[in-house]
Structure 1
Amino acid sequence: MLDFRKVEDAQTLAQAIVNTIPEPFVVLDDEFRVLEASVSFYKTFKVDPEHTRGRLLYSLGDGQWDIPALRVLLETIIPEHAAMDGFEVEHDFPNLGRRTMLLNARQVIYEDSSNSTILLAFMDVTNRRAIEREKEQLLKQTEELLRQKDTLLKEMQHRVANSLQIIASILLLKARAVLSDETRQHLKDAHQRVMSVAEVQRHLHASEGIDQIEVSSYLTKLCGSLAVSIVGESQPITIKVMAHSGMIGSDKAVSIGLIVTELVINAIKYAFPSAKADAMILVTYEIDAADWKLTVSDNGVGKGASDATGHNSGLGTAIVQALVKQLDAVTEVVSGSNGMTISITRATFTSHMPRAA
């Protein structure tokens, strides 16, 4: 085992340790004169040992090392705390330029001497700080772009909603003006299709521009709107919604909303040709991960499953068939004396919801 009782051996080891440290490193006496410095110190700050050792740290580089923050560290903080890590200094260092340094300092006090030394290490974080500032600037720019996007999206939603309301109003006015009952009914049906899309827009606006819609609330409001505008007092029909809570994309919501609109309109038109005290249409929507099932059932007279809607063919049937295909789903129609059930299913789904009865 080595014995470092010889001063020369201890100094040799200390010098080897200093030179091994990759970051600039300097040893100062208690008067802040340079006792020793590492090779990396000389290389980084472009100084030579002859003009460094024995000199006051503040006088290096013709006094350019007389840095106020460095004085605070060495003359105020170190005497009180004996150590300091991560003390940041930004300065125009001689032969180096404007740099940001993290200083780590330790005061070494010896038992058999009133003198002390200070170990001072430098870490250049200029590039790191520049990257951090760049990231911060990019973040601010991104936030501003997102703010502008949200503003534009809200404005677009507002304009689309207004346009849909205008179209819906025109359709109703035309429906009142025409003499043909068949044409009037077609215009009213078109009005409901427009309103189902408008309902999606209202939910998007309420979601502050997020392109996701809460399906249960959406279907409840949509069916409520259909009940108010279509169901007559002479034949009251209850429209009930039972839906799992969950978020769906606005594009999917438009398709589902149009399907529900068509199926509910058909049920109101054809399921109850005569008065029925407990007439009801039940809309259910179930979710199982990526799979889902939409069901519209009634407790009316029922009818043969002649097409995708279970009723007469026409524009509504074509719309439903196209939307079901677009949603990568399949249609099933079950009809009997107790009513009709039309299910739109994506993938395989086992239903646990009740049917209208």
Structure 2
Amino acid sequence: MKRGHHIAGLIKDFPDEERGSLGDQGIISLAAVPIYVGKEWWGFIGFDDCEREREWSLVEMDALRIAADTIGAAILKQQIESEIRKSQKRLETILEAVQAGVMIIDAESHTVVDANPVAVQLIGREKAEIIGKICHEFMCVAEKGKCPLTNLKQVIDSSERVLITAKDEKRPILKNAVYIELDGRQRIVESFLDISHIKEAERALMESEEKFKTLFMNANDAIYICDDMGNRIKEVNNIASEMLGYSRVELLGMSPRDFNASEYAALLPERLQELKRKGKTIYETIYVDSTGKSIPVEISSRIIDYKDKKAVLTVARDISERKMAEEAYKKEVLLKEIHHRVKNNLQVIASLLSLQSRKFQDRDVRLAFAESQNRIRSMAIAHERLYMSKNLKNIDAADYIRNLANYLLYSYRIGTEKVNLEIDVDEIYLDIDKIIPLGLIVNELITNSLKYAFDPGKEGLVSLSLKGRGSSLVLTISDNGNGIPENVDIFSTGSLGMQLVTTLIEQLKGKLEIDRCAGTTFIMTFEDLDRYCVRAEVL
């Protein structure tokens, strides 16, 4: 039965299929109208008469229509209210389940209509303290009158804002706001996420990146980052620019092949493959700077993540000084070996002279051989002290002279057993060219004292001192023996030893004084020798 239609009349006049069921109920007359709930037919309502045949008045039919409309409206209202309750229940369930804070706000008054548990927790107040309050009390405090939806007429607002908590803390949030129709009114649903941890992570990341940049740019070694194929430099520090003589902008457009020496550049693909296999690699290479200068460097490379991509981090250390030190060390080792061999060769010569001297019975001849041996031995000791020294340029004069003097005293021990040796030498270091002639002078003069100054078996003292006096170096050798008579000119005696002494003093640009009182004293002053020596206090 369509809306607005009705049925009214005697049962006997109804179609056969309807008359049967109605007649069985004893109905004689019937009036009925349909009941619609919204647009849907729900049923009908009517009057019937089981006693007599009758016609239904217009008043009766209007009453039925009013009753039908009332029942339909009541049922519709009930359905709507049920749906509303279900909808509200679903909304409450959703609000409680969602992990973001959600507030429902009246679009006209900006008052909070509802808030979910997460919003209540984030704000830190009771729900009752939040409902009915203006939303600007909790977020967008600085934006009053500039609501993106109601004032700026945006359809949706997605932005970072600040949530004000009950403790007046400002908590960063990510907010989304949209219009909805709810309860017949226009509402705004604002959902927001606490992004404090994200902001903290961003801050930590920025600090980390800043530290990395500071360390990267101020490292003592050249550092650059290039793509994982080693083709283009992506970042470079200040030291790399200084080392290679290119600006940062120039280097950012270059490849490591551009500043590796050609013979080393050819090895880069192989080294890149090794780096990819192992994740890191260390090797030495030669860089060539913008002026063509070669720079030996030690390379340390590893694979890193850089801007969400794999990249190669390379640290290049200038090892020029290390290479020079290595070369100097090799030379030092070589020089030590040379001095060692010279010493050995001199000892062989001294031994050969000793063997040769045994063929002669003449005492003077054998003594001459012995003196030559001692001269050679004085030079051998110098080379020995040099290769044993940490400093190949200079020899400890005190150590050398003590060794030489004690050796001579031992060599001439027969007949001089009661002669003592007194040595007083400053800590002075001389190079090999100065120490050998000085040692030969010491050798000759101490030998003369031991041979001629003392009668056999008599007590005696031989003194030796080497002192720095101002800019001069003074060598004094004396004995308290028999002395040299005043009428003897030691420079015209034809003695090889004294001729050697005077020649060596002249070679060292020194001057000789002789004191014949209480034995013999030789005083040698070397004005220029101090330029070639190093005092202990400056070592």
1:127 to 241, 251, 269: 241
Three-state SS of the structure 2 residue aligned to 1:160 is helix
Separation in structure 1 between the aligned mates of residue 447 and residue 393 of structure 2, nearest angstrom: 27
CA contact (8 A) 2:358 2:366 kept: yes
Aligned CA distance change for structure 1 residues 294 and 83 (closer, same or farther; 3 Å): same
Q: Does 1:339 align with 2:519?
A: yes
The within-5 A match list for 1:230-249 is 230-233=412-415, 236-249=418-431
Aligned to 2:372: 190
Q: How does 1:129-144 map to 2 (within 5 A)?
A: 129-130=243-244, 134=295, 136-144=318-326
Equivalent pairs: percent with the same residue?
Answer: 26
Residue in 1 that maps onto 2:349: 167
Specify the alignment match of 1:257 in structure 2.
439
Pairwise mapping of residues 62-73 of structure 1 onto structure 2 (< 5 A)? none
1:86 aligns with one of 192, 197, 214: 214
The separation in 2 between residues aligned to 1:342 and 1:186, in whole angstroms, is: 23
What SS does the corresponding residue of 1:86 show, helix, strand or coil? helix
Q: Which moved more, 1:286-295 or 1:249-258?
A: 286-295
Partner of residue 295, structure 1: 476
Q: Unmatched 5+ residue regions in structure 1?
A: 1-30, 32-73, 103-123, 349-357
Equivalent position to 1:304, from 485, 491, 495: 485
CA distance in 2, matches of 1:79, 1:138: 37
Aligned 1:309-328 pairs, distance under 5 A: 312-328=493-509
Change (3 A) 1:243 1:209: closer
Q: What is the aligned partner in structure 1 of residue 185 from structure 2?
A: none
CA distance in 1, matches of 2:429, 2:377: 21
The one of the two structures with greater contact order (alpha-carbon pairs below 8 A, sep at least 6) is 1
Is the partner of 2:516 in helix, strand or coil? strand
Assess, with a 3 A threshold, how the Cα gap between structure 1 residues 75 and 242 changes in structure 2: closer, same or farther. Answer: same
| 1:254–1:100 distance in 2 versus 1, CA, 3 Å | farther
C-alpha displacement at 1:101, in angstroms?
2.7
Question: Residue 175 of structure 1 contacts residue 183 of structure 1 at CA under 8 Å; is this kept in 2?
Answer: yes
Once the two structures are TM-superposed, the CA of residue 244 in structure 1 deviates from its matched residue by: 1.3
Q: 1:237 to 1:127 in 2, by over 3 A?
A: same
TM-score when scaled to structure 2? Answer: 0.43
| TM-score, normalising length: structure 1 | 0.63
CA-CA distance at 1:308 after TM superposition: 5.6
Q: CA deviation at 1:158?
A: 1.7
Structure 2: gaps (5+ residues):
1-159, 161-200, 217-222, 246-285, 288-294, 297-317, 529-539
SS at match of 1:287: strand
Aligned AA (1:319): L
CA deviation after TM superposition for structure 1 residue 346, in Å: 1.7
Larger radius of gyration: 2
Letter in 1 for 2:236: M
Shift of 1:99: 6.0
Q: Deviations over 1:129-156 (max 9, x none)?
A: 4379726232232122112102211211
Of 453, 467, 470, 1:271 maps to 453
**Residue identity opposite 1:90 in structure 2:** Y
2:416·2:450 contact (CA, 8 Å) conserved in 1? Answer: no
User: How far does residue 209 in structure 1 lie from its aligned partner after superposition?
Assistant: 5.1
Change (3 A) 1:76 1:152: farther
**Preserved CA contact (<8 Å) 1:100 1:126:** no
1:98 to 217, 230, 233: 233
User: Could you say which structure has the higher strand fraction?
Assistant: 2
8 Å contact 1:100–1:125 — kept in the other structure?
Answer: no
Count how many residue pairs are aligned between Structure 1 and Structure 2.
252
Offset of residue 126 of structure 1:
3.5
Give the distance between the partners of 1:334 and 1:157, measured in 2 at CA.
37
Aligned with 1:218 (options 370, 375, 400):
400
Q: Contact conserved, 1:267 with 1:281, CA < 8 A, in 2?
A: yes
Q: Do the aligned residues in 1 keep the contact of 2:449 with 2:479 (CA within 8 Å)?
A: yes
